[in-house]
Structure 1
Amino acid sequence: MRLLLTSDTHLPTRASSLPEDLMAAVDDADTVIHAGDWIDEATLDLLESRSRRLIGVYGNNDGPGLRRRLPEVAYAELEGVRFGVVHETGAADGRERRCAARFPELDVLVFGHSHIPWDTTSGRLRLLNPGSPTDRRRQPFCSFMTLTVADGRLYGVTLHSLPPRR
């Protein structure tokens, strides 16, 4: 199963549309995971219409409409791997320990908020933040992640850098 991870799309405040490379990856994915800060419901509608399966949560910048349609935390078992999705995990210092304590039942936690790509492990919990496809903040590039899940394992976790917006 091919997964695409994204977060912090911030449309239309940070960009007028999602990057073409991201949308091509959406079309190739079996499941798309979005870790919040959509900003507008049109982005949720777009990803719902283009995704085979969409798992998403709301973020701290998402208004009432998105909060009505999305949970704060989402859970899914995909090919034997237990995933959780949440927008905020707090400060980077101590993140692994806090998340392992808060989500002891998970194998993978996908999160957003910082716009900083992250891939670490705490015990058996893997934490993944795909960065942002529209707002690089202090990072050298905008980004998203892809990976494959099969037989209870993750394979080929890849951070994709996006070309600068014009």
Structure 2
Amino acid sequence: MLHRIGVISDTHLPQFKQLPEALWTHFADVELIIHAGDLSQLSVLSELETLAPVVAVQGNVELPEVVMQLPIKKEITVGGCRIGIVHILGSAQAYPQTARREFPLARVVVFGHSHNPYNEEHAGQLLFNPGSATDRRHQPTCSLGMLTIDDQDGSVHGETIPLPR
């Protein structure tokens, strides 16, 4: 079975007025959405849940309502794939070591915070940051992510989806 998981991070609402319009098209057929933190307000989850179930962690720029409801990190399993989720993974040079320490058995570690997309394998662990959906900072565009898990061959593939300006 193929599993398509939408991945989003650093939405920072209401500072950025709304979720990107392209999200509704790209995530229309996903079975799950992962939000890797910095929602800022819980209404983001309600909006995303109109498309698919949502698993989220808190970031470092959250209203108290988010901090009270969401964990700092979480591990889930989709098909046969273990996925660790955290907002801050540390410095880019330390991503592989930090990911392995935080989620030793995870096949994928999803994170956010930097607003920089990241999609690299390190010793059998895929590290995936979708970038920011609303604040491109030093990137050419904002972006979303998609994880595709294939239960048949045990593979997982991450894709960064640039958004129109």
Question: When the two structures are superposed, what TM-score results if normalisation uses the length of structure 2?
Answer: 0.92
**Distance between the aligned counterparts of 1:111 and 1:144, measured in 2?**
12
Provide the residue aligned with 1:112 in structure 2: 112
Provide the residue aligned with 1:159 in structure 2: 160
**Distance between the aligned counterparts of 1:90 and 1:147, measured in 2?**
22
**Distance between the aligned counterparts of 1:51 and 1:73, measured in 2?**
23
Larger mean CA deviation between 95-104 and 26-35 belongs to 95-104
CA contact (8 A) 2:45 2:54 kept: no
Amino acid at match of 2:21: E
Question: When the two structures are superposed, what TM-score results if normalisation uses the length of structure 1?
Answer: 0.91
Q: Report the CA distance between 1:33 and its aligned residue.
A: 0.4
Amino acid at match of 1:46: E
The C-alpha deviation readout for 1:77-98, integer Å capped at 9, x for no partner, is 1110000100001111221122
**Distance between the aligned counterparts of 1:68 and 1:26, measured in 2?**
27
- 1:66-85 equivalences under 5 Å are 66-85=66-85
Runs of 4 or more above 4 Å deviation: none
Secondary structure of 2:146's aligned partner: strand
**Distance between the aligned counterparts of 2:146 and 2:102, measured in 1?**
25
**Distance between the aligned counterparts of 2:9 and 2:80, measured in 1?**
23
Q: Report the CA distance between 1:51 and its aligned residue.
A: 3.2
Structure 2 residues without counterparts, runs of 5 or longer: none
Larger mean CA deviation between 134-143 and 66-75 belongs to 66-75
Q: Report the CA distance between 1:115 and its aligned residue.
A: 0.3
The C-alpha deviation readout for 1:77-133, integer Å capped at 9, x for no partner, is 111000010000111122112211232111100000000000112211110000011
Amino acid at match of 1:30: E
The C-alpha deviation readout for 1:117-153, integer Å capped at 9, x for no partner, is 0011221111000001100000111001113212132
Q: Report the CA distance between 1:63 and its aligned residue.
A: 2.2
**Distance between the aligned counterparts of 1:90 and 1:104, measured in 2?**
16
- 1:126-137 equivalences under 5 Å are 126-137=126-137
**Distance between the aligned counterparts of 1:77 and 1:120, measured in 2?**
20
CA root-mean-square deviation: 1.2
Matched-pair identity in %: 39
1:8 counterpart (10, 33, 41): 10
Q: How many residues align?
A: 161
Amino acid at match of 2:8: T
Secondary structure of 1:94's aligned partner: helix
Secondary structure of 1:93's aligned partner: helix
**Distance between the aligned counterparts of 2:22 and 2:139, measured in 1?**
18
